[in-house]
Structures are given as structure tokens and as C-alpha cells.
Amino acid sequence: MSWNNVIPASVINKIIDDIRKEPKQLHFDEDVFYTCFYIKEEYLTSCNEAFTYVRATGGGSYGTIAKYVDHPAFAALRKHLSDNGYIQIPDYPCWNGDRVIKPFYLNGVFLREGEKFVCGSAMSGHLNFLKKHSYKYRSGEW
């Protein structure tokens, strides 16, 4: 077919010309080319959501109610992934209970079906762990 397993320039040029003419005709098989998502590292965190209350009776009773929530950008990504069938968010309140139901890449890390999709504050460490131990984790060596 080609000399020394090199694709001839004429074949590459024809492919590029076809892409330029009709780019909408290219369809990637999702079994081979998984969707890639990217979110800035600074958004892989949680935010403190708090408010202070004072009793209307004037009795001096007051307090603060606080909780941690995902960064708004991460929450939007999570909602997008759920709406498009990439992750499943459980109906019951569960901390870090989301699961991947359709494989995809997040910040260059492949998340396969059945894996946990953790909260924003844990995702940074989760992605770094998978990058560092990718071979062992994927091959099932542990």
C-alpha cells in the first residue's frame, strides 16, 4: 500500500480536502473516540454557602447556618453530564454517590463506566490519583 508504512501525501491531502468541503459528514464512533470535557483546576473546589439569622421576636436569638457546595462551574458541568447521560445522579441525597454511566475524558483522565464521579472538592485529588496511578488502576493490579 505504501512504502515503509508511510501514508502518501496525496492520500492525506485528499482527506483534508474532503474535511474542508463537508466537515459535517465526519462522525466519530463513540466506542473509539470518547467525548472530552475540561474544567479549570481552580473550579475543582467547594464553596461555603452560609447565612446568619436573627429572631424577629427581638429575643436576641441568632445563629449561622453553613454548608459546603460545589463551585458553580463544577455544578454546571455535573448537571450537563447528567442531562446528556454521562453520569447518573442518585434520587436520594448521597455524598459522592454519582456514577459514570457513559465513558468520557475529564481533564485528560479517562473515566470508565461504573466509576464514582465525586464532588468538586474531591475531584482534583481523584483526577491526580488517576493520572499518577493510571496503569496500575486500569490494569487491575491492585
pLDDT of residue 46: 86
So where are the chain's domains?
Answer: 36-42+71-139
Cβ within 8 Å of residue 105, ≥6 positions away: 34, 35, 36, 37, 111
User: Strand pairing partners for 122?
Assistant: none
Rounded Cα distance, 14 and 128, in Å: 41
Residue 2 banded pLDDT, cuts 50, 70, 90: very low
What's the pLDDT tens digit per position in 20-61? 766 554 555 656 678 889 999 999 988 888 877 777 766 666
What's the pLDDT tens digit per position in 65-118? 888 888 899 999 999 999 999 999 988 777 778 999 999 999 888 888 998 899
> Model-level pTM?
0.66
Residue type, 61: S
Q: How long, in residues, is the chain?
A: 142
